[in-house]
Amino acid sequence: MTALAARNLCKAYGGVQAVDDVSFSVAAGEVLAMIGPNGAGKTTCFNMVNGQLLPDKGTLEFEGRSIAGRAPREIWRMGVGRTFQITATFASMTVRENVQMALLSHYRRLASLFSVAARQHREEAEGLLERVGMRDQAERACAVLAYGDLKRVELAIALANAPRLLLMDEPTAGMAPGERSELMQLTADLARDSNIAVLFTEHDMDVVFTHADRIVVLAQGRLIAQGDPAHVRADARVREVYLGSMHA
């Protein structure tokens, strides 16, 4: 079943066509990587999907409903979770409280004035932290965490929404090689077990070729190739504009 479908997306800034007629789709349970050189339009594409940018043209549908131009918070409500390229967490809260906030929002209990937030959905939050390997740091403030650990907290926050689509912008940037593979393996397992569609951008080709089911390649705002890893790796154009000789 198609979870996310983008058709003929276009976006220009000040005369530069950042994204030009790009179409792709992600099925439930599928892990799709979006790759390409800097400035190829990956981030622009990504920000249209997550609601930060409005496409000039084209359609974006999540489970058959249009999401183009919806605010990020509405997209979350539809069952989408996301992580940021530069991590964004609540620095004055503990790791667990960060996940609890996402859970409180998911269960629509944020407006409560008199219950004690730190006691709500505690076990569930710890369960999510367990899954991303952060349970032992649940009591620490997010402000003091290492960068790689923040990336994992972000994944737990996204999972708190029981998402059917997970958007991850450079999920492993700044992590050590071992950690990278671990995090993406975890993500891929989650996708298969819980039937979550995953769309991620990434610069680490080892991660992409190991964990993605399918890859789309952008260059200068256009989609130049898509298919399974073996197919993309063999594509002459992709090797010319992006992979170079190192990944032949």
Partner 1 sequence: MLSVRGLNAAYGRAHILFDIALRASKGEVVVLLGRNGAGKSTTLKSIIGLLRPLSGEILMRERSVSRLKPYQIARLGLGYVPEERRIFTDLTVMENLEVGRQARREDAPYWTPTRLFELFPNLGRMQDRLGGRMSGGEQQMLTIARTLMGNPAAILLDEPSEGLAPVIVEQMALTIRALKQEGLTVLVSEQNLRFAHAVADRAYIIEKGHIRYSGTMSDLESNGAVREQYLSV
Partner 2 sequence: MTASAILIQFLNGLASASSLFFVAAGLSLIFGVTRIVNFAHGSLYMLGTYMGCSLVEYFGRTPLGFWGGVLIAGLAAALIGAMIEATLLRRLYQAPELLQLLATFALVLVIKDFALWAWGPEDVLGPRAPGLDGAVTIAGRAFPEYDLLLIALGPVVLGLLWLLLTRTRWGSLVRAATEDREMAGALGVNQGWLFTGVFALGSLLAGFGGAVNIPREPATLMMDLSIISDVFVVVVVGGMGSIPGAFLAALLISEIKAFCIGIGEVHAYGIDISFSKLTLVVEFIVMAIVLVIRPWGLLGRAASVARGPGTLEDPLRSPSRHLLALGVAVLGVLVLMPVLGDAYTLVLLGDILVFALFSVSLHFIIGPAGMHSFGHAAYFGLGAYGAALALKHLVPMEAALFAGPFVAALGAVVFGWFCVRLSGVYLAMLTLAFAQITWSVVFQWDSFTGGSNGVVDVWPAAWLGSKTAYYYLTLVLATAGILLLWRMLYAPFGYALRAVRDSPLRADAIGIDARRFQWAGFSLAGLFAGLAGALYAFSKGSISPEVVAIPRSVDGLVMVLLGGIQTLTGPVAGAAVFTWLQDTIARNTDFWRATLGVIILILVLAFPQGATGMLRRRFAREQS
Please tell me the distance from the alpha carbon of residue 37 to that of residue 73, in angstroms, as a whole number.
30
* Least distance (Å) between residue 214 CB and partner 2: 25
Nearer of residues 116 and 248 to partner 2, judged by Cβ: 116
Q: Which residues bind partner 2 (CB under 8 A)?
A: 50, 71-73, 76-77, 82, 84, 88-94, 97, 100-102, 104-106, 109-118, 120, 141, 143, 157, 160-161
Nearer of residues 161 and 201 to partner 2, judged by Cβ: 161
Q: Which does 25 bind (CB under 5 to 8 A by kind): partner 2, partner 1, none?
A: none
Q: Which does 174 bind (CB under 5 to 8 A by kind): partner 1, partner 2, none?
A: partner 1
* Burial grade of 199 (CB within 10 A; 0-12, 13-18, 19 or more): buried
Q: Which residues bind partner 1 (CB under 8 A)?
A: 38-39, 143-147, 173-177, 203-206, 246
C-alpha 45: how far from its chain's center?
Answer: 12
* Least distance (Å) between residue 9 CB and partner 1: 22
Please tell me the distance from the alpha carbon of residue 108 to that of residue 160, in angstroms, as a whole number.
12
Please tell me the distance from the alpha carbon of residue 183 to that of residue 200, in angstroms, as a whole number.
13
Q: Which does 146 bind (CB under 5 to 8 A by kind): partner 2, partner 1, none?
A: partner 1
Please tell me the distance from the alpha carbon of residue 89 to that of residue 137, in angstroms, as a whole number.
15
Q: Which does 57 bind (CB under 5 to 8 A by kind): partner 2, partner 1, none?
A: none
* Least distance (Å) between residue 231 CB and partner 1: 21
Judge contact between 165 and 196, C-beta under 8 A: yes
Nearer of residues 75 and 243 to partner 1, judged by Cβ: 243
Nearer of residues 120 and 172 to partner 2, judged by Cβ: 120
Q: Which residues contact 116 (CB under 8 A, 6 or more apart)?
A: none
* Least distance (Å) between residue 228 CB and partner 2: 30
Nearer of residues 9 and 159 to partner 2, judged by Cβ: 159
Please tell me the distance from the alpha carbon of residue 95 to that of residue 82, in angstroms, as a whole number.
17
Strands 165-169, 222-227: pairing kind? unpaired
Nearer of residues 36 and 81 to partner 2, judged by Cβ: 81
Q: Is 37 helix (H, G, I), strand (E, B) or coil?
A: coil
* Least distance (Å) between residue 16 CB and partner 1: 10
Q: Is 207 helix (H, G, I), strand (E, B) or coil?
A: helix
Please tell me the distance from the alpha carbon of residue 77 to that of residue 240, in angstroms, as a whole number.
41
C-alpha 194: how far from its chain's center?
Answer: 16
* Least distance (Å) between residue 147 CB and partner 1: 5
